[in-house]
Amino acid sequence: MSVVIGLAFSACSLFSGAGRGRREVHIVTVDNNVCKRLKEKVVIYGVFVDSKVGGVWSTHDVRSTMDSMRIAADWIEAQARMQGIDLVIEVASHEKGGVVPVRSELPRAGLDGVIRGSNPSNLIDRWADKACRQVQSSFPRDTASITLTKNMPKDRERLIARLRDLHGTDNVALMLFVNNYHGSESSIALHTGSTDRIEYAVVAFKRPAVIAHEFLHLFGALDLYITPYDSKKEAEKRKRFAMDRFPNEIMAFPFRGLDSLQIGSLTEYLIGWRRELTREDAELLAGEKVRFAKY
């Protein structure tokens, strides 16, 4: 089974922050972590990770996946233009100008199995850190100042700091690709609502719509479709409603072709293209009890 999920481990941490009286609510993924608002210059950085379970990348596979990244980026740029948003997305990778093999073994269960198992984000983080360390060490000697405040940055934090320096932007969307021939792997965006762990996505599909979907998660978008991880009836009901309300929404239908999809008003708010939620979208998220923050 193929699934694309975003907040599998943190669906109930959707809201945070409370004041007196009528609460003002911030959605934890919005304007948060490395990828804040989807505006101005943004880099989507692909890391192609070889592994026994996930497969090995050929030059052809890398090239076709980077083509898909470009198609996804062009589509998002076009959506931004329609909203009058200034956005340029640069597609980059450690493979540029010669193959730099990166290898990090997935647990035998593969990505699907890890996600369904216990403590998945720790396992995937370790796997991702190992891959990021190799990418980082393939660069010329590091003279960049690490701008993050931590004393002991993890490998993917070091890599992000370096990429920010190299590309001259804070907005670096890190995507690790698993070469999956069989279409049976999941894709996932991790730590999008975190304040202390760097967010990134792991993608096992070459489809531009899936890449765009995960990319939007990194900038705060939420899943608007029913995943196998939805246990609460209320969440399911909300998502069913969202799918009716946004019949062409990329966060609801990531397995359709990009040409038939669009970015709906709720996602626009989440990624920073709209200052405030529409009333209908706010009700969809939380009923009438709360007031959502304006950005």
Regarding 6 and contact with Zn ion (CB under 5 A), the answer is yes
Closest by CA position to 38, among listed 197, 220, 210, 164: 220
Closest by CA position to 175, among listed 205, 150, 134, 197: 205
Q: CB-wise, 163 or 209, nearer to Zn ion? A: 209
Regarding 199 and contact with Zn ion (CB under 5 A), the answer is no
User: In the numeric block, which tokens belong to residue 92?
Assistant: 């980059």
How far is the CA of 40 from the CAs of 73, 250, 263, in angstroms?
A: 13, 21, 18
Closest by CA position to 80, among listed 71, 90, 72, 88: 88
Q: CB-wise, 4 or 91, nearer to Zn ion? A: 4
Q: CB-wise, 169 or 227, nearer to Zn ion? A: 227
User: What is the number of the residue whose Cβ is closest to Zn ion?
Assistant: 6
| Mode of pairing for the β-strands spanning 102-103 and 187-190 | unpaired
Binding mask 106-145 for Zn ion (x = CB under 5 A): ----------------------------------------
Residues in binding contact with Zn ion, number by CB under 5 A? 3
Regarding 175 and contact with Zn ion (CB under 5 A), the answer is no
Q: Which of 125, 199, 223, 268 binds Zn ion (CB under 5 A)?
A: 223
Minimum distance, C-beta of residue 38 to Zn ion, in the bound complex (Å): 15
Q: DSSP state, 288?
A: T
User: Distance between CA atoms of 60 and 54, rounded to whole angstroms?
Assistant: 16
Select the span of 121-129, 197-205, 216-224, 266-274 touching Zn ion (CB under 5 A). 216-224
Select the span of 1-9, 28-36, 114-122, 201-209 touching Zn ion (CB under 5 A). 1-9
Regarding 4 and contact with Zn ion (CB under 5 A), the answer is yes
| Mode of pairing for the β-strands spanning 15-16 and 24-27 | antiparallel
Q: Provide the binding-site residues for Zn ion, judged by CB under 5 A.
A: 4, 6, 223
